[in-house]
Structure 1
Amino acid sequence: MASILHCQVGSTPFSYLGLPIGMMIYTWHLVIEKVKKRLSRWKCTTLSFGGRIGLLNSVLHSIPIYFLSFLKAPKGIISSIESLFKSFLWGGDQDNKKINWVAWDVVCRDKNHSGLGIKYLLAFNLALLGKWRWRMLVEKNSLWMRVISSLYGITLHLSNESGVKDSRWWVDLNRIEDGDLMSNKWLSNNCCKVIGNGVDNKFWLDK
């Protein structure tokens, strides 16, 4: 096919729309390296605590957003990225470790609840993927959704049922509210369906 189309034969991993394709671990290691590279340019000792919080919220959290918007990050990767964030927040670096004076879940609380307003990456990742899940529910008659449904057999019901095949990404999107990706069914518990003509609803299962 390459000789017929006069194109090069590629290999994995390769980049598509800014995302490395073919090796998931490589993808996340790339994100971690980007964070480390940015941190290496800053001197924690010359920044105030408030300055570190500002840079953490405005710069460091923006680095993985594009990846978190499309991919479900493994918990180990989330832990590695947050470890870098913690070290930077408390004034440490790769050579000098600092004590984490406050638990990270407290730091990630909203300021109105005695936190620092720093994003909790696991919930942030699920929220970004949840936006895709929401689009799947409200744009079910759009062309892109019909194509995806025909390719992967996606079911749009909020119940715990999935016919998705072959695609890890669409499987994760379809399972967001199933309880596997979070401790409770946070999406389906906050959504309801309008009966309409009843064609798109499972009477005994849908809310």
Structure 2
Amino acid sequence: MKKTLKITAVFLLLITVSAFTTQSNIESQGYKIGDDATDFELENIDGSMVSLSDFKEAKGFIVVFTCNTCPYAVAYEDRVEALNKKYADLGYPVIAIMPNNTEVKPGDSMEAMQKRAKEKGFTFPYLMDEGQKIYPQYGATKTPHVYILEKYDEKNIVKYIGAIDDNYQDETEVKTKYVENAVDALLSGKDIEVKETRAIGCSIKV
């Protein structure tokens, strides 16, 4: 009995270490502040293929890894839409990317994405990370997880990583709007005071 318990304990420990290592590897391999984010080409909900290079007049991007099925992501949908309406015309459009494995989360299929976007009236591209190749490059681990990029000499430099704001539960109780503060600083030519925060959300499903 004791031997069985010991084997079980070791097995659980190995699973925990493996999970932690996998998460750490994604984060360690992901982009850091100041890195140049590689462009991508992903399918949008309208069937077109979208790349950052398509946005010739953009000064940068608000890249948001999000989905339909995570309650945290759903709680932020209106705020993500508001970010696009506020900043797209100022040169910082939202680019939303759905990173989940749709076999694990069928509610995040392209059809479901199209339906959700129509229901909510999304004005930003909502892209599918087919094959889950892009989110590991960024180091995203949650939905939502935000990366603000600034275009500089034909590069897309990472300027902010983390959460949208400091209260996912109640927008009226938000005290610090991390993404808005960061984009406002970039538009004003100032340094971003808070460059990294902890993303709060659901783990990306692989």
Give the number of the structure whose residues are more often helix, by fraction: 1
State whether TM-score is above 0.5. no
Larger RCO of the pair (alpha carbons < 8 Å, separation 6+):
2
Give the number of the structure whose residues are more often strand, by fraction: 2
Q: TM-score, normalised by structure 1?
A: 0.25
| Bigger Rg, which one | 1
Q: TM-score, normalised by structure 2?
A: 0.25
